[in-house]
Chains A and B, each alone.
Chain A
Amino acid sequence: MFNFTTLTGGKPHPEVPALAEQFRGGQIDRREFLRTVAWLGVTAASAAAFAGVAPGAALAEEPKMGGVLRIAVAVQEITDPALVSWVEGSNLLRNVVEFLTKVDADNITHPFLAKSWEPSEDLKVWTFQLQPNVKWSNGDAFTTEDVVFNIKRWTDANSKSSNKSSFAAITSVDVKDTLTFSITLNRAILSIPEMFYAYTCPILHRDFDKVGAPWPKNPVGTGPYALAEYGVGQKAIFKRREGYWGKKPYLDEVRYIDLGSEISAHIAALAAGQVDFIARITANDIELVKKLPKVQLLTAHAASTVCIRMQTDQKPFDDIRVRRAVLLAADNAQMVKLAYRDLGVVGENHHVAPFQPEYFKLPAVARDVAGAKALLAEAGYKDGIDLTLVLGNTQGRWEQDTAQVLQQNCAEAGIRVKLNVLPATEYWPIWNKAPFALTFWVHRPLAVMTLDLAYRSTAAWNEAHFKSPEFDAALDKAMAIVDPKQRALAMQAVEKIVQDAAIMVQPFWADKFTAASTRVQGLRLHPSDYHDLTTVHLA
């Protein structure tokens, strides 16, 4: 019997041996095994040793210290870090504030500000041990008081953070000592450690509210860099600070430069050597980036997607026949092929990706234009129906391209879709208000995290106004199962409820791409777009 070591040094969770057996028997794959035992508190080294993963190769030579990394990205106004709604903003914060856990680009959860964690057998009580000797940039010691302040702030009745629904299951937070705390849940949740790495979960200083927002005026953090300058729409400069508790980062300075929203301008700046790394490119830019000298293309598979969702309580979408007609008319395969250059995976209208661990393969639903027409006629729209789809190209023009293909698809069924294309900045204020809208959803390692955030009856970001107690119960059940195989079976019901409710056309899963100068080393594209710059160095 292999002896697994845990982060706490204690006995492994009772499910760990069963998972090991499943891995040996080929019932679950290596990645699934590593990811699940990491949640249960097994050390990465021990899990990797069991799974036969070679330890990371040592670098041929020690990376060079120093240098300034220049990144082209939108420098947005940041009021309260817990309320940041764009990943770009969270990446700026990430230099200064840190998280309890860290999920790497392979979706494996690692200790961060939390040194270790241990779940109870029923997964309802989670005990976390914090890193000792962590100092805030103002000299204060980092303690459980800080963590409790943040968790209570997220889950407070008046909280506006999306964490309020994500962590709604927390019934109490108990402090054992200055470095140990536990959270108690009203239902079992397996993915708690991973959930603490959501970009809405940065750990702020316990006195943050005494000074208050905006964050650039109150940038106290535990991270490796200190904020030196912050100009909304212009630039943000972070300088390495002395006294950081973790491994000293290689870069002296990280400089974010706002070049506007035009990706072509970002690529031009990269080609001209004015920046070293650009936050994002789209599928349409790949051919160009490949031709640029001294530029590397970074790619990653991700559960990022667009949801063309219909609000179930708004006319005409309160009639499920109309929603089903739209889904039957939509050709998801054509959307990924034309709008995303076939650089993604076809979606199945339930927001669970085939490469997410909980995925259960439902029978394929074939496109049926005649069926769509019949449903419309039954719903009283014999002569077709006029709909207005609102979108904002928040991630690039491919969103509009996707909508245009859907428009063509729907036209075949007599569904006349008018596109109302707004500038991205005008879209976000109304993203959850328009009855028929196209919204980009970022990657989350677990499908249940997105489902919990977007489709639970009480969820803060339930933009489709989908309310189904049956779905809520099925999701609760799935979130509590440790065994990936069993969890996938429970997900069958979850996916089927969402798909049958026909609340969205979710055409495809969009791969991620970006580009950096070849002098940027040690950078991996994270499927969530999170930038971990502590490993980055310049050649």
Chain B
Amino acid sequence: MTLFRALRRPTAAFGAVVVVIWVACALFAGLLAPYDPLISTTALVEPFSRGPDGKLFLLGTDMLGRDILSRLIFGARTVVLWAGLATATAYVVGIVGGLAAGFYRGAVDQILSFAANVILSFPVLVLYILIIVTLGSSGANIVLAVTFASAPAIFRIVRALAIEIREQDFVNAAITQGEGAIRIMLFDILPNATGPLVVDACLRVGYTAITIGILGFLGLGLPPPTPDWGTMVNEGRAMAMVFPYLVIFPCLAISSLMLGLSLLADGLREASREGSRA
């Protein structure tokens, strides 16, 4: 319901459309991309131009002659898949820890909160770089890095919500009825915490997409030749002064996804507030 309410807002609807377009690109990349994103043809064909073989390249080709549009479409798969997976994993870890700390309090809370604070005290980017440089660059390691760096923040949100909800009458009633702790956490506390978490998740997927872009830009993204928007910016940057389209299009892709997710998150937040007022 909250989603439908949110989509009534033009900005949120616009955000949702952008996100859906990129998700569709990720899901149907093979059908949508005009060319194979890994195959070289003619290098540095300008946007909206044809190569010597007559092929039209809407967004041009990169320095290795690969179609930029196809790489962006396949790059969406990289971003959506890994950003989504990494955020989901971070959420699982953050929710489990946050529920446990908020419900049990005491020593469990103190230990988990201390660990979360220690991790949060590191600059996030430094953490990412340390993990990727140590373990090597791969999708799984990006998930691990994002989980490690993001889970503590999610933990804190869930913990705060859990502490608040834990004091509600219906939770005390469930405890009095002798329901198990896990059941209470999953079926009584968590459903009542979803509103703020959905908004946060929406934003966090966007941050993770940017993080993957930053890692790619720093040369720590997925190994080549995987199409990855951040890596595309990095690859094109040496020639950006002369061939600016090499970096403009992947930058626009990153920005549009982030903008879409932010607008959607704003809409959800507003809709959620309206829902609670109603």
- Whether A338 contacts B237 in the complex (CB less than 8 A), given A404-B64, A404-B224, A419-B224, comes out as no
Pairwise interchain contact B64-A287, C-beta atoms closer than 8 A: no
A405 near B219 with CB under 8 A, answer no
Query: Are the C-beta atoms of A282 and B63 separated by less than 8 Å?
Result: no
CA distance A420 to B235 in the complex (A): 16
Contact A284 B224 (CB under 8 A): no
- Contact of B241 with A by CB under 8 A: yes
Q: List which A222-270 residues lie within 8 A (CB) of chain B.
A: 263-264
- Assembly CA distance A420 to B137 (angstroms): 9
Question: Are A288 and B242 in contact, with the CB atoms below 8 A?
Answer: yes
In the bound complex, CA of A411 to CA of B65 (Å): 17
Q: Is A400 in contact with B39, judged by CB distance below 8 angstroms? A: no
Number of interface residues of A (CB under 8 A): 27
- Which of B38, B219, B223, B239 is close to A284, meaning CB atoms less than 8 Å apart? B239
Contact: A400 with B224, CB < 8 Å?
yes
B43 in contact (CB, < 8 A): yes
Query: Assuming the A-B contacts A334-B40, A338-B43, A421-B219, are A264 and B238 also in contact, with contact meaning beta carbons closer than 8 angstroms in the complex?
Result: yes
B225 beta carbon closer than 8 Å to chain A: yes
On whether A401 and B64 interact (CB within 8 A), knowing A334-B40, A408-B40, A420-B223, the answer reads yes
Expressed in whole angstroms, the minimum distance between the Cβ of B220 and any Cβ of chain A is 9
Q: Which residues of B contact A294 (CB under 8 A)?
A: none
Q: How far is the CA of A405 from the CA of B239 in the complex (A)?
A: 19
Contacts of B238 in A (CB 8 A): 263-264, 282, 284-285, 288, 397
Proximity bits, A51-80, B CB within 8 Å = 1, else 0: 000000000000000000000000000000
Residues of A with C-beta under 8 A to B239? 284-285, 287-288
A200 within 8 A of B: no
Task: Give the B interface residue count (CB, 8 A).
Answer: 19
* A418 at interface, CB cutoff 8 A: yes
A403 to B235, CA, bound (A): 14
Given contacts A284-B239, A419-B224, is CB(A408)–CB(B38) below 8 Å? yes
By DSSP majority rule, is chain B's interface helix, strand, loop, or mixed?
Answer: loop
- Residues of B54-73 contacting chain A, CB below 8 A: 63-65
Known: A418-B223, A421-B223. A284 touches B40 (CB 8 A): no
Is A82 close to B, CB under 8 A? no
Contacts of A291 in B (CB 8 A): 241-242
What distance in Å separates the Cβ of B41 from its nearest Cβ neighbour in chain A? 9
Whether B63 contacts A287 by the Cβ 8 Å rule is no
Neighbouring B residues of A285 by C-beta, 8 Å: 238-239
Chain B 187-209, CB-CB to A under 8 Å as 1, else 0, gives 00000000000000000000000
In the complex, A285→B43 CA distance in Å? Answer: 15
CB neighbors of B among A277-300 (8 A): 282, 284-285, 287-288, 291
Q: Cβ of A408 and Cβ of B241 under 8 Å apart?
A: no
Q: Are A338 and B64 in contact (CB under 8 A)?
A: yes
> Which residues of B are at the interface with A, using a C-beta cutoff of 8 A?
38-40, 43, 63-65, 136, 219, 223-225, 235, 237-239, 241-243
Known: A407-B225, A419-B223, A421-B223. 14 other contacts (CB 8 A): A264-B238, A282-B238, A284-B63, A285-B238, A287-B243, A288-B241, A339-B64, A397-B235, A405-B40, A405-B64, A408-B38, A408-B225, A421-B219, A423-B219
User: 10 nearest interchain CB pairs?
Assistant: A287-B242, A284-B238, A288-B241, A338-B64, A404-B225, A419-B224, A284-B239, A419-B223, A404-B224, A338-B40
Q: Which residues of A contact B (CB under 8 A)?
A: 263-264, 282, 284-285, 287-288, 291, 334, 337-339, 341, 397, 400-401, 403-405, 407-408, 411, 418-421, 423
